[in-house]
């Protein structure tokens, strides 16, 4: 009987040692998991940053960049990528553009609103941020400009060139076969008719109205201070509410960081 008791005791001790080893291994794994989680959290905290996206050149629809132009798809993709990146805490648009296509600006605005649903979006204006460039800026959470930044010019313009007299002098005759009376409207080889001029004015007025109403809604300013479509210096823009602060790119980045952390 004593032999049996000793054997049972040995078996029990083996079980206890196995249990201890199991708990020891589980403890190590738990500590390692905690260490990994804390490490990832610390790295993430240290590496979060403000993303600077440049909108430089005439704004057009498309995915191009260069030769003085910037595409709405190119800008929009960068904005959405920054908005979805967990390591980006804020977005700063560095805008240095005379404007461009109203439709292209509308595309970028949609992407800005997407980003604003996830993190703050600030604008830093450079030399110039007029017309469509101001339109996209108006949708940011805050706008920074330099005292002599040229901004404003809130309206729509359509340039029509008439080379018909030069063509006549050179003896060039252009014949047009068209499917509708206004199919060749705004062509450079002939002058506009009065009816065509009125029609184009309606298009320009409707586009401008949409632009002005949106700026008024976004910035909470009086329509009368912008409806003459004049270019406006940064200091005056601050006074009338088109921008929020005077400051350069680095001051804008610091402000966006503080805003995101608050």
Three-state DSSP state, 94: strand
Cβ neighbours around 12 below 10 Å, total: 10
**Structure confidence at residue 261 (pLDDT):** 87
Neighbouring residues of 203: CB distance < 8 A, sequence distance ≥ 6: 158
Provide φ and ψ at 64, rounded to 5°: -85, 165
Neighbouring residues of 239: CB distance < 8 A, sequence distance ≥ 6: none
Q: Which two tokens stand for residue 249?
A: 């790119």
**Structure confidence at residue 262 (pLDDT):** 82
Element (H, E) at 4: helix 2-47
Q: What does pTM read for this prediction?
A: 0.81
Nearest to residue 136, comparing CAs of 158, 114, 119, 118?
114
**Structure confidence at residue 225 (pLDDT):** 95
SS3 content of the chain, % helix, strand, coil (to 5): 50, 20, 30
**Structure confidence at residue 44 (pLDDT):** 46
Q: CATH assignment of 50-261, given 3.30.1490.190, 3.90.226.10, 3.30.450.20, 3.90.1170.40?
A: 3.90.226.10
Catalytic (active-site) positions: 131, 183
Neighbouring residues of 260: CB distance < 8 A, sequence distance ≥ 6: 50, 89, 90, 119, 120
Per-domain residue ranges of the chain: 1-47, 50-261
**Structure confidence at residue 46 (pLDDT):** 47
Per-residue pLDDT of the chain (262 residues; tens, 9 = 90+): 555 555 555 555 665 566 556 656 666 666 666 666 655 444 444 456 899 999 999 999 999 889 999 999 999 999 999 999 999 999 999 999 999 999 999 999 999 999 999 999 999 999 999 999 999 999 999 999 999 999 999 999 999 999 999 999 999 999 999 999 999 999 999 999 999 999 999 999 999 999 999 999 999 999 999 999 999 999 999 999 999 999 999 999 999 999 998 8
Q: What is the 3-state secondary structure (H, E, C) of 16-61?
A: HHHHHHHHHHHHHHHHHHHHHHHHHHHHHHHHCEEEEEEEECEEEC
Evaluate whether 108 touches 62 at the Cβ level (below 8 Å).
no
**Residue whose pair of structure tokens reads 């002599």 in the numeric block:** 148
């Amino acid at each position: 009987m004593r032999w049996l008791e000793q054997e049972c005791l040995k078996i029990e001790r083996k079980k206890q040692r196995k249990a201890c080893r199991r708990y020891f291994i589980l403890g190590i794994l738990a500590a390692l998991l905690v260490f990994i989680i804390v490490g990832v959290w610390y790295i993430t905290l240290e590496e979060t940053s403000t993303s600077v996206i440049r909108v430089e050149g005439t704004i057009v629809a498309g995915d191009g960049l260069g030769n003085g132009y910037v595409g709405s798809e190119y800008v929009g993709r960068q904005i959405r990528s920054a908005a979805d990146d967990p390591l980006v805490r804020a977005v700063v648009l560095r805008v240095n553009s005379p404007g461009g296509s109203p439709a292209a600006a509308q595309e970028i605005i949609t992407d800005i609103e997407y980003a604003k649903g996830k993190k703050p979006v600030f604008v830093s204006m450079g030399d110039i941020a007029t017309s469509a460039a101001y339109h996209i800026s108006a949708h940011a959470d805050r706008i920074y400009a330099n005292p002599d930044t040229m901004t404003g010019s809130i309206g729509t313009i359509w340039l029509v060139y008439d080379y018909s007299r030069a063509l006549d002098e050179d003896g060039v005759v252009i014949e047009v076969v068209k499917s509708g009376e206004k199919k060749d409207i705004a062509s450079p080889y002939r002058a506009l008719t009065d009816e065509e001029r009125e029609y184009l004015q309606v298009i320009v007025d409707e586009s401008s109205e949409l632009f002005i109403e949106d700026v008024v809604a976004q910035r909470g300013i009086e329509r009368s201070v912008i409806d003459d479509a004049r270019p406006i210096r940064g200091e005056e823009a601050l006074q009338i509410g088109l921008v929020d602060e005077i400051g350069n790119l680095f001051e804008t980045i610091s402000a966006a960081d503080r805003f995101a952390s608050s």
